Structure 1
Amino acid sequence: MMQTGLDQLAELRRTGTPRGITSVCSAHPVVLRAALRLGRETGATVLIEATCNQVNHQGGYTGMQPADFAALVGVIAEEEGCPAKQIVLGGDHLGPNPWRDQSADAAMAEAEKMVEAYVAAGFRKIHLDASMGCAGEPVALGDEAAAKRAVRLAAIAERTAAEQGGEMPRYIIGTEVPPPGGADHALDEITPTAPEAARMTIAVHRQHFADAGLSEVMARVIGIVVQPGVEFGNHNVIAYDRSKVQALTRVLDDEPRFVFEAHSTDYQGTGPLSELVEDGFSILKVGPELTFVLREALYALDLIASDLVPDYGDRSLMKAMEEIMLAAPGNWNRHYTGDAATQAALRHYSLSDRIRYCWASEAAETAVARLSEHLEGRTVPLPLMWQHLPAAAPYADKPLDVQALLIWRVSESLRSYHAACRV
């Protein structure tokens, strides 16, 4: 199967054969393994991205620097037999966001170090996002200030890539309209980006790249982040409505070298995702959905073990995760409102899936390992599998391979993206 690359997306759209690429935004090893295994099976480009808060030169919330993340992907890719030529590593929202409580000078100095670390580690898809205000500045900056800072970061990326050799970076400009990780409240409607706003973002960046003597770098800007009117919150999902973005998609007719990058496309399903690709939203970013379905499968196995294994206990994994989240509320308590019962449900079942921040903790890994030890190789009767995870019926009535089931569940979500991207 022919592999679609980042540089082909705009041309494929222009010629009436639009294709897309799925951007997998997760650091969870099971999610990475599922993406790389599916890449080996399909021959498609495997685009894996890390965010500025998740992975940076100071470690981020995963504790990984860019070189560590790249090494993790490399090890799993080798184990899965996914060729390196199929893999693209991306850095998302690379800018001063993790240090925005500092002065602009201090925050941008850290952002420069971060971009250098990303590019030095082999990341070649770089989202330049300096749109957030720092200490003493407005929450969101205008196009002029954001573009000027983005160009400053691009210069660092260019210098580092030239020193490293190999492919030069491809860039994405523009800022994500949806809040990272989803909204906190029930949503009714999301307004798509105004066409004039998208045109202004492109024009201002083009001017600042030219002013900095980096016009040739602008030629490697392949996409712009816009809001297509899709989003998910803790409780619900706003599906894509292509009738509301007809004017926005015409921007690509005037700027034929670009495609759109769509964030927060989680939970859309194959139909809306296919329409997004057809309309020029060629890069589809997904993250929380993948760890949500992973958690879904783990909790189903937790219930199966509770019913099947006498010495396992009653929902041991869920109880362990509840303790972990209550002991470290910083990742969820600002986002989950309501009474105690509502917050308890959101901790485990919110579509924003802020429980994903906890899986790398030692206590969570111990609880998952204990679950696996109790079920690995054990035969799960079909009626019990139907009760707790019906779609996993093929894994019933034979020795259970826990990791294979988890990878299968994540892959089912990824396959909807691959189908939409036509790979």
Structure 2
Amino acid sequence: MSIVPSRAAASPVQALVAAHRRGEPVGLYSVCCSNEQVLRAAMQVAQRYGTPLLIEATSNQVDQFGGYTGMTPPQFRDFVLRLAAEQGFAAERIVLGGDHLGPNAWQQLPAETAMARACTLIAAYVEAGFHKIHLDCSMACADDPARLSDDLVAARSARLAAVAEASAARAGLAPPVYVIGTEVPVPGGEASLGAGVAVTRPEAAAQTLDAHRQAFAAAGLDAAWQRVVALVVQPGVDFDHSRIQHYDPAAAAALSAFVAGQPGLVYEAHSTDYQTETALHALVRDHFAILKVGPAATYALREALFALAAIERELLPVEQRSHLVEVLERCMLERPGHWQKHYPGKPDEQRLLRRFALSDRCRYYWGEPAVRQAVARLFAGLEQTALPPTLLSQFLPEQYEEVLLGRLAATPSALAQHKVAQVLARYARACARNEAATAPKIERQGAK
């Protein structure tokens, strides 16, 4: 079982982009997450709708030092492979990607030091079989000006692409495909939408594209340039802690028309979390053909786990409960680094944001030992008793209906994964090659 493409293998990403550019109504959704329950749900959705599964790790999640997940790129690859084997999902249908790869995690360091670490990061990802590489050098380092020019961003990106090319050749792997851009939305959503985010101007997209084309040519990377499949722009979609900016096709019409004139290229849309399914279909139609989703999936997982904890409170005596919500809150207060600078306001306002913000910064804490143990105890306790239909109806009504229809097992893990799968299925339907995918065959989901 292998997730690593050989040098002779065709790129599934390039194939989908080519199909889109031929006029087929297809796209590619990217699940940017390292959570086990989310990835299991993603594999179920990809299986049901017949789509490839693009799983991306971000530069702060997974790096050569372990990132906040504690996993290096080879460890993350092996983690995904293990889940695929357990789900019965074919590894060859998985594409691994690296998101925001560049000096992002080391912005507090001088640029040369940060870029040296970014080169090591890129090599580690590519040698581990990550095929889709988002080159993101848009952030300023300690000795940089506050705003970087397109030319400097492009030159740094080309430097990283050269490392990626050499790493793939050294490992005997297919050369990567690349995503570039300078107007890169903030990972995980905005701190505040304010008056909203502006759609990228076509002239700015053209300038970014030209700067990167020249930088790749200057670095002798003409072959690599042929594998640049997407440009990151701002289509006018984003979210903050409590609000969503929804896609407006009219506002993005000129931007869409620009990429239509660029052969072999599509846009990659970040921060598409919480968009309506109609908006996702419209984004793909308008050549924002690679859709990124992350916090919306873990937000759905958090909703499911909180609902299961509410069921637990009704069913089990206090000494047998997981106290998941309280354990999560305590862990976030003890280690506030992932949320404190992001959530403003008074203590009560921060408490609500910690639990319910759309930015879902509690996603950083599901891997903490105490929280992981609480989830395990929650699942174990509820698996020992039949979940009353009345409580399922109260706290997980959509899952209750699927249980009634015999499509879903009434187990904690199956219920939680189904909640996540509902979110990811919107992306699969928006991106699927076949419109029949909107009416998928029904399969009973078990308790893996």
TM-score class, shorter: over 0.9
The alignment status of 1:408 with 2:418, answered yes or no, reads yes
Paired residues for 1:6-155 under 5 Å: 6-155=13-162
User: Which residue matches 1:215?
Assistant: 222
Deviations 1:191-213 (A, max 9, x none): 11110111111111111111111
User: Which residue matches 1:383?
Assistant: 390
CA shift for structure 1 position 386: 1.8
8 Å Cα contact 1:261-1:281 kept in structure 2: yes
Identity %: 45
Rounded to whole Å, the distance in 2 between the matches of 1:176 and 1:353 is: 23
CA shift for structure 1 position 265: 0.3
8 Å Cα contact 1:9-1:18 kept in structure 2: no
Deviations 1:372-416 (A, max 9, x none): 121014222222222212111134799831111111111111101
| Aligned-partner SS, 1:281 | coil
User: Which residue matches 2:341?
Assistant: 334
RMSD across aligned positions (CA): 1.9
- Give the TM-score of the pair, scaled to structure 1: 0.96
Unaligned runs of 5+ in 1: none
Which piece of structure 1 moves more, 170-179 or 4-13?
4-13
8 Å Cα contact 1:378-1:400 kept in structure 2: no
Which piece of structure 1 moves more, 274-283 or 303-312?
303-312
Unaligned runs of 5+ in 2: 1-9, 434-448
Rounded to whole Å, the distance in 1 between the matches of 2:174 and 2:389 is: 50
User: Which residue matches 1:160?
Assistant: 167
User: Which residue matches 1:419?
Assistant: 429
CA shift for structure 1 position 31: 0.9
8 Å Cα contact 1:187-1:237 kept in structure 2: no
8 Å Cα contact 2:49-2:432 kept in structure 1: no
User: Which residue matches 1:241?
Assistant: 248
CA shift for structure 1 position 312: 5.2
Classify 1:277/1:315 alpha carbon distance in 2 versus 1 (closer, same or farther; 3 Å): same
Rounded to whole Å, the distance in 2 between the matches of 1:51 and 1:255 is: 27
Rounded to whole Å, the distance in 1 between the matches of 2:90 and 2:376 is: 29
8 Å Cα contact 1:18-1:280 kept in structure 2: no
CA shift for structure 1 position 5: 3.1
8 Å Cα contact 1:20-1:421 kept in structure 2: yes
Rounded to whole Å, the distance in 2 between the matches of 1:117 and 1:104 is: 20
8 Å Cα contact 1:128-1:150 kept in structure 2: yes
Which piece of structure 1 moves more, 176-185 or 16-25?
176-185
Rounded to whole Å, the distance in 1 between the matches of 2:85 and 2:20 is: 33
CA shift for structure 1 position 190: 1.8
The alignment status of 1:5 with 2:15, answered yes or no, reads no
User: Which residue matches 1:319?
Assistant: 326
2:275 to 268, 287, 298: 268
Classify 1:81/1:4 alpha carbon distance in 2 versus 1 (closer, same or farther; 3 Å): farther
User: Which residue matches 1:365?
Assistant: 372
Between Structure 1 and Structure 2, how many residues are aligned?
A: 421
8 Å Cα contact 1:306-1:312 kept in structure 2: no
Query: 1:404 corresponds to which letter in structure 2?
Result: A
CA shift for structure 1 position 138: 2.1
Query: 1:107 corresponds to which letter in structure 2?
Result: A
- Give the TM-score of the pair, scaled to structure 2: 0.90
Rounded to whole Å, the distance in 2 between the matches of 1:171 and 1:37 is: 27
